[in-house]
Structure 1
Amino acid sequence: MTLSPSFKRSLWVFHFNTGSCNGCDIEIVATITPRYDPERFGVRLVGSPKHADVLLVTGPVTKKMAPRLRRVYEQMPSPKVVMCIGSCGQSGGVFYDSYNLDGPVDDVIPVDVYVPGCPPRPEAIIYGVVTALTKLERIERGEE
């Protein structure tokens, strides 16, 4: 699979909240502001998973959101990268023992990049997106 040069420099990101407290969502909004300027890396937030290259997932996966998350993941074109933002998506966080959780994100869909924190700083989110870009380049070279 060959990635076009424009693809390498313009990652389109779709954000999906699976039941978080919105702390990570606020940090994602802060990340896309001119202060941090993720567009210098070609990162753009899009409104449809059908146009996205990277899926940002925040929060632990509730039972109601698990099938929706799978559907969004399946709608994304390949190659795609999934980023799990925040501690809740990785382990359940403060909600780890809740009756309504299906588990962390990687129990529902495969995760490529983890960005830890509660909530993670915008710099960490940008670093995660840059890591996702290098992962896509490794996929192109056939290393993964």
Structure 2
Amino acid sequence: TGESIMLDILKRIHRTGMLSEALPVHDGHEVHVQRIHQRLNRVFGRALRIRHVDAGSCNACELEIQALANPYYNLEGTGIAFVASPRHADVLLVTGPVSVNMEEALKRAYEVMPDPKWVIAVGDCGACGGIFGINYASRGRVSNVVPVDATIPGCPPAPLALLHGLLLITRHPRQP
């Protein structure tokens, strides 16, 4: 019966105990993230829009970029958001070495962005071509195809490094 099954489940839960992880120990990391958010707000206000382009990555960088949307990093809470069209973007966030098949798409995305615009090459592949370099299928680093304002090294870079990368572009004045 349903009642005996429920009692059996409750007994197993009581015997086994809690299996989830303990809460993380406060190490000051949250304060660091908050300071970055405050700086981003001061520099960009509440209107920075990012268009992400995967130019041929292995998707490791995409997983770290996706983490920026979780409640811990809360990128959208700072007013910074990802957009679907480069026509609405201030920043082009490019991951991976630029594959031959994505070269034209990346150039077009860059060209239709409104001025002023920034480009950030993410990960070792975006920054230097990674293990792929330039070959029959790859144009190598992002800067071989479009101008790059900042690079975020790492394979893949952590979400905190991505936030720092957004701050790196503040050192470059926006050129109309």
- The bucket for the TM-score relative to the shorter chain is 0.7 to 0.9
Deviations 1:42-95 (A, max 9, x none): 211111100000000000011111111000000100000000000001122122
Q: Which residue of 2 aligns with 1:8?
A: 44
Q: Which residue of 2 aligns with 1:139?
A: 174
Greater relative contact order (Cα 8 A, min sep 6): structure 1 or 2? 1
Mark the structure with the bigger radius of gyration: 2
Structure 1 runs (4+) deviating above 6 angstroms are: none
Matched, 1:103 2:149: no
User: Whose strand proportion is higher, 1 or 2?
Assistant: 1
Which blocks of at least 5 consecutive residues in structure 1 are unaligned?
A: none
Task: Measure the CA separation in 2 of the matches of 1:7 and 1:52.
Answer: 16
Task: Measure the CA separation in 1 of the matches of 2:59 and 2:42.
Answer: 32
Task: Measure the CA separation in 1 of the matches of 2:174 and 2:130.
Answer: 31
Superposed, 1:89-100 pairs within 5 Å as 89-96=126-133, 98-100=135-137
Between 40-49 and 89-98, report the one with greater CA deviation.
Answer: 89-98
Q: Percent identity?
A: 44
With normalisation by structure 2, the TM-score equals: 0.70
Q: Over aligned residue pairs, what C-alpha RMSD do you find?
A: 2.2
Counterpart among 68, 74, 87 of residue 50 in structure 1: 87
Q: Which residue of 1 aligns with 2:22?
A: none
Paired residues, number: 135
* Residues 76 and 6 of structure 1: CA distance in aligned 2, closer, same or farther (over 3 Å): farther
Between 76-85 and 6-15, report the one with greater CA deviation.
Answer: 6-15
